Amino acid sequence: MAAINPVYLDNYGIINYHTHVFNHFLEESETMAEKSFNPFEMAQAQFDRVAEILDLDQGTKELLRYNLREYHVSIPVRMDDGTVKVFRGFRVQHNDARGPAKGGIRFHPMETIDTVRALAMWMTWKCSVVDIPLGGGKGGIICDPHNLSMREQEAICRGWIRHLAKDMGPLKDVPAPDVMTSAQHMLWMLDEFEAIHGQRLPGFITGKPVGMGGSLGRTEATGYGVIFTVREALKQLEIPASETRASVQGFGNVAQYAIELYNQIWGKVVCVSSWDQKDQTSYSFYKEDGVDLATLRSITDRFGGIDKVRAKEHGYEVLPGEAWLEQDVEILIPSALEHQITWKNVDKISKSVKIIAEGANGPTTPDADKVIHKRGIFMIPDLLANAGGVTCSYFEQVQSNMNYFWEKDEVLGKLDTKMTSAFNAVSDLAKKKKLYMRDAAYVIAVGRVAQACKDRGWV
């Protein structure tokens, strides 16, 4: 496997797929609707739909529709050239009725408070649907690590913690890596937090290096979690995995480990997509007899971009970036960024597709989701499909707090149990109430949080 710069790995195993994909989306959007896309409004719309199904009272709706707390901070950093630059940062705690807030901290040059708000809300539902005792939080800093030295990145990490150290902690709010942050960033943040409090508190943050309080199995967790749910969906649909083919968007760690485990259950991936940093565009790589994971890893750069010239030499057909969506396969796994399956391309999904498993957060827009639902495609929604990352992050938090660490097989075994149990709960409710899988997942997740708020006497 080609060497991967750990700066670009996040807590859930995602290589930055990346700044450029999101920038490209913003620059190339052809309609005002897409240009004005607001992820927080999308998250609220999803909540509103479920609030009606659950018939929540007005007070509970008003509480859960917004975040409990938000922090906006300015971080002055003396740059390597001697100038001082001020970076804007955020931390949002959506709800902590079920436990400490939990969620990543991302570096992104186009970060917005509404993106962080949406992700914090989604984290609340994600922790709830897999029934781990945590709430939802998220953080972000407007910056681009591509253009920052390691010293400058360290200064940003420590500055962010200095602003928020009194409002976070193992029993309050537990951050983790996200887009363009890594185990190294988490270690700098932990060191600063411990220096401020004068204690060793490894449970304050997750996504740490193994050997410094990190958990074995963390790298595999999100991708494996996706396939644990796919495996269960195939059982329910009575389709042997060996008779299925899949197409995957993205080639970061989520995609790579999803492909790895899918191959182990005898499925075949015939197409993957990745971002080409040089061309500033994405490509899909197709191979009729199945992609070879080891080969693709060997020709992948540190950003998760596959070398298209070398791919052709290995027999891959290089197609346009969106071609991953159009393949005649049974399973689609979007594992890149939000807002990827939209009203513009949803009709390109092949009639052969039986399952969509959302490895990314928010890859399907509500209007596209309606089409998918109408077509009867089995949707494994993001808050369930990619919850393996936060579940393993919770395992790391538990291990750090008790200073006792599990072997990798134990971690992955516990992960399988959690993901399978969550899938079955959502599937059972969907069948019992004749609900779309996304709606069933939200009903369970929101219902648990609403009940916790009620039990605490908040509403």
Alpha helices by DSSP H, listed for 198-313, are 218-237, 253-264, 293-298, 308-313
Q: What is the pLDDT along the chain (459 residues), one digit of tens a residue?
A: 333 333 333 333 333 333 333 333 333 333 444 456 788 998 999 899 999 999 999 999 999 999 999 999 999 999 999 999 999 999 999 999 999 999 999 999 999 999 999 999 999 999 999 999 999 999 999 999 989 999 999 999 999 999 999 999 999 999 999 888 999 999 999 999 999 999 999 999 999 999 999 999 999 999 999 999 999 999 999 999 999 999 999 998 899 999 999 999 999 999 999 988 778 889 999 999 999 999 999 999 876 789 999 999 999 999 999 999 999 999 999 998 778 999 999 999 999 999 999 999 889 998 999 999 999 999 999 999 999 999 999 999 999 999 999 999 999 999 999 999 999 999 999 999 999 999 999 999 999 999 999 999 999
Which superfamily does CATH assign the domain made up of 70-214 to?
Leucine Dehydrogenase, chain A, domain 1 (3.40.50.10860)
CA distances from 323 to 62, 319, 332 (A): 41, 6, 12
- With pLDDT > 90 as the criterion, what percentage of the chain qualifies? 85
Domains of the chain, by residue range, sit at 70-214, 219-385
DSSP conformational letter for 306: B
| Contact in structure between 441 and 384 (CB atoms under 8 Å) | yes
| Contact in structure between 398 and 410 (CB atoms under 8 Å) | no
| Cα–Cα distance measured from residue 434 to residue 428, given in angstroms and rounded to the nearest whole number | 10
Would you call 349 exposed, middle or buried from its count of C-beta atoms within 10 A (0-12, 13-18, 19+)? buried
| Contact in structure between 218 and 392 (CB atoms under 8 Å) | yes
Using one digit for the tens of pLDDT, what is the confidence trace for 388-441? Answer: 999 999 999 999 999 999 999 999 999 999 999 999 999 999 999 999 999 999
Using one digit for the tens of pLDDT, what is the confidence trace for 103-112? Answer: 999 999 999 9
Query: Which of these, 281, 418, 270, lies nearest to 353 by C-alpha position?
Result: 270
| Cα–Cα distance measured from residue 397 to residue 224, given in angstroms and rounded to the nearest whole number | 19
Largest CA distance in the chain: 64
Alpha helices by DSSP H, listed for 324-457, are 366-375, 382-385, 388-402, 408-433, 437-455
User: Is 35 an active-site residue?
Assistant: no
**CA-CA-CA-CA torsion sign (139, 255, 44, 97):** negative
Burial 265-276 (b: 16+ CB within 10 A, else e): eebbbbbbbbbb
Residue 238: CA atoms inside 13 Å, Cβ hemisphere, count?
0
Q: Answer whether 70-214 and 219-385 agree in fold.
A: yes
**Topology at the third CATH level for domain 219-385:** Rossmann fold (3.40.50)
Helices 388-402 and 218-237 meet at what angle, rounded to 10?
Answer: 130
Q: Which of 61, 102, 138, 268 is labelled catalytic? A: 138
